Amino acid sequence: MSEILFDDGQSIRKVRVQRQGRKFLVKIDDNEEDVIVEAQRRGQGRLQLRYGNSPSLYKCVLAKEGTDRFIFVGGRIYKLQKVEKKVAIKKEDEELIDFDLTSPMPGKIVKILVKVGDEVGAKDELLIVEAMKMENRILAPYAGRVEAIHFVVGDQVRQGDVLLDLIPQESSETATQQNETSNETLI
């Protein structure tokens, strides 16, 4: 019996799978009962399954990339992340705070509307990145104070580049400390 942990974006789901002849016995989370699954591979990334007493035949398309698992079933794509046990436990006490704003796409900075030290409100326009010949406004995701701007007008930026640091208003004292550490990890 092998145990697998999947993060479905809301919680960690624990799954145990056991093969029994042509069938699979699957235990989800800490349920008492095993679910009996009849499954067949139907070519690359394709799986057909029935489970329990459900009359439906589920045709699924699956793919994986690193720890990400994509499952297309019933007209929707679900994304699960396969997680290691240690990480799963750690994640529950850890609170991640993101202080940086990154470029959503490769492009060029055409306008910067704020300067270091400015107080901005949530949804205020911070700067404009031009990409694919369209101007994209980068808005403040929360109210705060501009701590640093990493580019000047005319600079080319890559997707994921940190454009500026914005310290949230409420927690600016504790934030300053944490921001220093978060910058270190970024370098």
- In three-state secondary structure terms, 181 is helix
Rule CB under 8 A: choose which of 94, 95, 98, 134 binds another protein: 134
CA–CA distance, 51 with 60 (Å, rounded to integer) = 13
Cβ proximity to another protein: between 84 and 130 the closer is 130
CA distance to 6, 99, 144, per residue, from 116 (Å): 42, 15, 11
Query: According to CB under 8 A, which residues from 85 to 114 bind another protein?
Result: 104-106, 110
State the SS3 of 123-145. CCEEEEEEECCEEEEEECCCCEE
According to the binding rule CB under 8 A, does residue 66 interact with another protein? no
According to the binding rule CB under 8 A, does residue 40 interact with another protein? yes
Read off the amino acid at residue 179. N
Cβ contacts of 69 within 8 Å, gap of 6 or more: 6, 62, 63, 79, 80, 81, 82
Cβ proximity to another protein: between 159 and 171 the closer is 159
Query: According to CB under 8 A, which residues from 147 to 186 bind another protein?
Result: 159
Residue 91 beta carbon to another protein: minimum distance, rounded to whole angstroms:
17
Rule CB under 8 A: choose which of 96, 132, 152, 187 binds another protein: 132
Residue 102, judged by CB atoms within 10 A of its CB (0-12, 13-18, 19+), counts as: middle
Residues that bind another protein (CB under 8 A): 2, 4, 6, 8-11, 13, 15, 17, 19, 24, 26, 28, 35, 37, 39-47, 49, 51, 55-65, 68-78, 80, 82, 104-106, 110, 128, 130-136, 159
